[in-house]
Amino acid sequence: MPTRAAVRGHAYYADQARRALGISAEPRLAEVPFPIIHAALGVAACAVAVALRPGAVGLVGSVVGVTALCFVTGLVLAAYDRFVYPAEHRPAVEAIALPVAALGAFSLVLAGTVDIRTRLVAAAVTVAVCGGLPHLGGLRASGREGWGGRFLRDAAAIAVLVPVLLASASGNLPLGLRVAVALVGVGLVTLDGLRTEETRLRHTAALAALTAVVVTGAMVAVDRAVVTPGAAAAVTLVIWYGVRGMVAGAVIPPRRLASVAEHLAVVAIALFGLYWVTR
């Protein structure tokens, strides 16, 4: 079992070195760049996603194209962060998880509706997530994220998950594709939410994968309860929130049993609500 010091990240060691040299740990604005380039990359990725919508290239072509687009976008964001951010203020590599998930969610919106207002809102969310999340990651690495940053991160996660869960609950897609969408979408969003300086990436990835499996299983069970896609997505979203909180409270230091009990109650309420609706 690694010691507490063994799992510290770059930000911890950089802060210790600054303190030893008597240098302020507060980053200057130039050290956490304004995310205009990230937002521009988000706009470009959305434009490509529009060209890859199922109505233009077919379902199979859209799935393959969007998968490749998300992969390339993630690589570009990660590479850009490596070149621009100083090492001590650089977002962790998994900071690209939520922007990639947002791009996938936007593609699902394009496939699911032709309403221009809905598509524009989804595009705005995607660009905001692609532009803002790496910046929040830089603030987190610098130890300056704060309550407001965490709130924005959670709000972005929910905004990204809603179209993912709606698509997963839709009867218009094959079950295998719906399960894959749920596993990947929930896994990426959860990876961003669980990552801390106290855990290694592989441990966080394993916890995110476990959460994705549990939530996807719950989605399939809710789907069998014969409720509308909107109700199924809402119940699954609440279950995700509860399961993520239980995992964070039970496994990630410092462990908080009260938080586990609180989020377990959230899951129980969601399941009771489902039972009440379908009885």
DSSP 207-218: HHHHHHHHHHHH
pLDDT value for 225: 67
Query: Per residue in 220-258, pLDDT tens?
Result: 877 776 667 777 788 888 888 888 888 877 777 666 777
Long-range contact set of residues 110-114: C-beta below 8 Å, sequence gap at least 24:
110/49, 110/50, 110/53, 110/54, 111/53, 111/54, 111/55, 111/62, 111/167, 112/163, 112/166, 112/167, 112/170
Q: What percent of the chain has pLDDT over 70?
A: 74
The DSSP code sequence of 136-192 is HHHHHHTT--HHHHHHHHHHHHHHHHHHHHHHHH-TTS-HHHHHHHHHHHHHHHHHH
Per the prediction, the chain carries an average pLDDT of: 77
Q: What is the pLDDT of residue 98?
A: 85
- Please, how many CA atoms are within 13 Å of residue 136, restricted to the half-sphere of its CB? 26
- Is the pLDDT assigned to residue 79 strictly greater than 50? yes
The model's pLDDT over 183-199, given as tens digits with 9 standing for 90+, comes to: 998 998 888 777 765 66
Question: In the prediction, which pLDDT does 118 show?
Answer: 83
What mean pLDDT do residues 193-207 have? Answer: 75
| pLDDT value of residue 28 | 46
Residue 30 has pLDDT above 60, yes or no: no
- Model confidence band, residue 24 (pLDDT cutoffs 50, 70, 90): very low
Q: What is the mean pLDDT of residues 137-160?
A: 72
DSSP state of 253: S
pLDDT at 4 over 60: no
What pLDDT does residue 68 have?
93
Distance CA 93, CA 79 (A): 9
Residues 11-21, mean pLDDT to the nearest whole number: 58
Residue 29 is predicted with a pLDDT of 42
Residue 263 near residue 245 (C-beta atoms within 8 A)? yes
Name the pLDDT band for 69 (thresholds 50, 70, 90).
very high
- CA 85, 87, 90: angle at the middle one, nearest 5? 50
- Distance from C-alpha of 245 to C-alpha of 193, rounded to nearest angstrom: 10
CB-count exposure of residue 42 (10 Å: 0-12, 13-18, 19+): buried
Is 182:188 a contact under the CB 8 Å cutoff?
no
Prior bond of 254 cis (ω within 30°): yes
Segment 10-18 mean pLDDT:
58
Q: How confident is the model at residue 10 (pLDDT cuts 50, 70, 90)?
A: low
Lowest pLDDT segment from 5-9, 58-62, 223-227, 262-266: 5-9
d(CA 247, CA 211): 8
CA angle, 47 then 236 then 125, to 5°: 25
Q: What is the pLDDT of residue 255?
A: 67
Residue 169 has pLDDT above 70, yes or no: yes
CA distances from 216 to 51, 60, 195, 223 (A): 29, 22, 21, 10
